[in-house]
Structure 1
Amino acid sequence: MIIYNVTSNVDDSIHEKWMAWMMEDHIPKIMATDKFYKVKIVKVLGDEQHGGTTYSVQYFADSREKLNEYYNDHSPKLRAESAGLFGDKILQFRTELEIIKEFKSV
């Protein structure tokens, strides 16, 4: 399994608009691609030196192939939409993570 992680520092001036867009528009569009089976949005705890609030959005894919299909078929349009709405009010970086093993308490 692969986690596509997008970390975003969101400026306070657009925080509410961004969060509503993520929950009501962006994440549902990504889930509709059928490339990911689960999404988690988590807040990064701690004081931000540069202001704003930081979130990690984790998109879970069954395979590298599905993630690559997302990159090729959907990502450019969705990234452009985000940039058009929020511009430089969001600073982002992306990482890919491979799940090796999960441990759960019994």
Structure 2
Amino acid sequence: MLLYNVTVIIEETAADEWLQWMKDIHIPEVMATGKFVSNRLLKVLDSPNEGVTYCTQYVAENLTDYNDYQQNHAPALQSELQSKFENKLVAFRTLMEFVA
């Protein structure tokens, strides 16, 4: 099992709109790809960064599903995110493997 983590630091002025968009549109679109078995959205409480920091986490059963998502779905979904919140956020992506 793999954990795909997307950390977003977003300007406070856009944070509420971003959060609603993530819940209503983006996360459902990512899950509709069928490449992830679960997800969660977390707010970082002790972030040293300016703005508001969130982590969106998706669980994939295997590397094949993750790679398929990256090749066939991620570019369009990430482009939509960047267009909608242009110059208002920074995103970092990390892939992790469950070990215990």
**TM bucket normalised to smaller:** over 0.9
| Distance change (3 Å), C-alpha of 1:96 and 1:47 | closer
Tell me, in whole angstroms, the C-alpha distance in 1 between the residues paired with 2:15 and 2:95.
25
Q: CA RMSD in A?
A: 1.0
Aligned: 1:37 with 2:37:
yes
Whichever of the two has the greater Rg, that structure is 1
* Cα shift at 1:48: 3.6
Q: What letter matches 2:3 in structure 1?
A: I
Please list every run of 5 or more consecutive structure 2 residues that lacks an aligned counterpart in the other structure.
none
When the two structures are superposed, what TM-score results if normalisation uses the length of structure 2? 0.95
After superposition, what is the alpha-carbon deviation per residue over 1:6-61, rounded to whole angstroms, capped at 9, x for unaligned?
00011111111100100000000001000001001111111544x21101111100
Q: What letter matches 1:75 in structure 2?
A: A
Q: What letter matches 2:78 in structure 1?
A: R
Aligned residue number for residue 57 of structure 1 = 56
- Deviating beyond 3 angstroms after TM superposition, the runs of 4 or more aligned structure 1 residues are none
Tell me, in whole angstroms, the C-alpha distance in 2 between the residues paired with 1:87 and 1:17.
13
Secondary structure of the equivalent of 2:14? helix
Q: How does 1:1-106 map to 2 (within 5 A)?
A: 1-46=1-46, 48-49=48-49, 51-101=50-100
After superposition, what is the alpha-carbon deviation per residue over 1:44-89, rounded to whole angstroms, capped at 9, x for unaligned?
111544x211011111000000000000110000011001100121
Please list every run of 5 or more consecutive structure 1 residues that lacks an aligned counterpart in the other structure.
102-106
When the two structures are superposed, what TM-score results if normalisation uses the length of structure 1? 0.90
